[in-house]
Amino acid sequence: MSLFNNFNTIFNDAAQPWQLGFQDSAAPGFTGLVTLHNTIGFYLIVISFAVFWVIFSISYNYNSNKNPIAYKYLTHGTVLELIWTITPAIILIAIAFPSFRLLYLMDCPIFDFNLLHLTILTCN
């Protein structure tokens, strides 16, 4: 009987061959780390699809056969520079808030999950 054919096997949170993802957590701090990892992975996938779509659409729409004369203000414009400056800043802020929240919750050995706002906890 193969190990992969029997779905009733208990692994006791040990690593499995070809395992994707993390093992089950034994502490609430690691559960928060896994959630943060999944959130950042979601942002990474969304950003990757957006970048590939922009690259494909630009290479398809602005090739030399379709458009021999390039648009003069396509790459040098105030609006475009504002967009590609502000958008990464917003994405980094969206990643930083959950990261700092988890960092401050993991600072003390005893977690108080009822405090959902950002406070600086002192460990005495």
Count of CB atoms within 10 A of residue 69's CB? 6
Contact 91, 47 (CB under 8 A): yes
- For residue range 60-75, list pLDDT tens digits in order: 877 767 766 666 555 5
In a domain, 16, yes or no: no
- Using CA atoms, how far residue 108 sits from 56, 112, 119, in Å, is 48, 9, 12
Number of domains in the chain: 2
Q: Is the same domain home to 48 and 64?
A: yes
**Domain span including residue 105:** 77-124
Position 45 scores a pLDDT of 95
**What is the spatial distance between Cα 118 and Cα 121, in angstroms, rounded to a whole number?**
9
In a domain, 53, yes or no: yes
**What is the spatial distance between Cα 48 and Cα 41, in angstroms, rounded to a whole number?**
10
Phi-psi region of 18 (alpha: psi -120 to 50; beta: other; left: phi over 0): left
Q: Return the structure tokens found at 53.
A: 């779509």
Q: Is the same domain home to 55 and 82?
A: no
The arithmetic mean of pLDDT across residues 28-51, rounded, is 88
Residue 1: band (very low, low, confident or very high) from pLDDT cuts 50, 70, 90: very low
In a domain, 25, yes or no: no
Place of tokens 């089950």: 24
Average pLDDT, the chain: 75
Amino acid in position 93: I
